[in-house]
Amino acid sequence: MTERKVVLVDDEEDIVLYLQTALEDAGFVALTASNAAEGLELIRRETPDVVCLDILMPGESGLSLYQRMRGDDQLKGIPVLISSALNVSKELGDITYSILPDGTEVPEPDGVVEKPVTAEQFVAAVTKLIRNGNAD
């Protein structure tokens, strides 16, 4: 199996370290960004197998970054896992009605985990997205 890259975009350093360690212990390459602008640059440069986004971040939110990814031909096929301490189902309901520049609705993310999440739950969610997104 080739190395699988996961980009974590979250502004909480302790959570990033926890999730990064869990992913690396499970054999993934975990790359991190602390805000949406950094995250978008990292995602474009690395073309990861999965992107994990926190919803609440200073400046641009994770949901906004998610919408931008889904509207970008280069990035729209990358599986996205949303993680947040917010009521994720309510927040996702808000983006269901968002429209991309081409007039299409923003699809739901590929996966959702609510914080606090255990290392095992998080790794399992990432692994599931990789299995669903890749035939190898």
pLDDT at 119: 96
Instruction: Work out the percent of the chain whose per-residue pLDDT is above 70.
Output: 85
Check residues 23 and 136 and name the one with the higher pLDDT.
Answer: 23
Residue 41: which domain range? 5-130
| Domain-located, residue 135 | no
CATH of residue 71's domain is: 3.40.50.2300
44-86 tens-digit pLDDT: 999 999 999 998 888 998 888 998 999 899 999 999 999 877 6
Residue 136 domain-assigned?
A: no
pTM of the model: 0.87
CA-CA distances (angstroms) from residue 92 to 98, 108, 126?
Answer: 10, 7, 19
Q: Whose CA is closest to 58, among 41, 38, 42?
A: 38
129, two tokens = 């997205």
pLDDT score recorded for residue 29 = 98
Q: What is the pLDDT of residues 80-130, one digit of tens each?
A: 999 877 665 555 555 554 666 677 777 788 998 988 899 999 999 999 999
Tokens standing for 95?
């983006």
Could you tell me if residue 114 is inside a domain? yes
What is the rounded radius of gyration, in angstroms, for the C-alpha atoms of the chain?
Answer: 14
